[in-house]
Amino acid sequence: MTTRVLHLGWSPVPAVEALHRHGAEVTCAVTLPDLPAVRESPHAAGAVPVADPASVEAVLTGLARAGLDLGGFDVVSPAGEMELIAASVLGALAGTPGVPPRVVVGLRDKFVQKARARAGGVPVADCRVLESLDESALAEFGGSSVVIKPLDAAGAQDTFVVSGADRLAGLPGWPSGTCRAGSSTSTAWSARGSCWTWRSPAS
């Protein structure tokens, strides 16, 4: 029996090729710019245009417009890290095998990661959510340098080193919802639903 896969996103393309090689029928939920490439690919059985493959709402409405039932898929897979939570939630809704949403949240959110690691006995920096990052917040670190990294960004994306409040003006706009993790050697802040990590210079 053919395994029907709903794949959220298009890159990395090798993932779709591998699924196809293993006999899966892959339907990709992709944004409009990726639509032509998906439709031309011999490895994708179908394409569903969506506003954002990382959005549960966008994928569900895209499937509905295309006349497709989420329950008709055997697996929901993410193209990358940004689609992990959507793939997990959609898989749970469809009753397909997959990583549970609670687990995936811990893979994506830096605040949750630290809390769970700490609960498991792993030494990590203390962390809490702040409404904003400003001079008064920085003052709590005694002038030490900090590294800011979004809670849900990948790798070093949107990561900055700040040595004092006077350097905040040089950073991109500050969304609300910042997370701070702190210890004698490191501190982490989060903004715009993402987590930023600060690290003091080694003494």
Per-residue pLDDT of 14-34, as tens digits, reads 999 999 999 999 999 999 999
Per-residue pLDDT of 4-13, as tens digits, reads: 999 999 987 8
The H or E element that residue 137 is part of is: helix 135-139
pLDDT, residue 112, reads 87
CA distance 176 to 69: 37
Of all helices (H) and strands (E), which one includes residue 146?
strand 146-148
Peptide bond into 12 cis (omega under 30): yes
pTM metric for this prediction: 0.72
Predicted confidence (pLDDT) per residue in 78-130, tens digit: 999 889 999 999 999 999 999 999 999 988 887 888 889 999 999 886 666 65
In the chain, where the domains are located: 4-106, 109-199
For the cut 50, the answer to whether the pLDDT of residue 203 exceeds it is: no
Specify the pLDDT at position 188. Answer: 43
Query: Which residues lie below 8 Å from residue 197, measured CB to CB, with a gap of 6+?
Result: 110, 147, 148, 149, 159, 181, 186, 187, 188, 189
| Mean pLDDT, the chain, whole residue set | 78
- Fold (CATH) for 4-106: Rossmann fold (3.40.50)
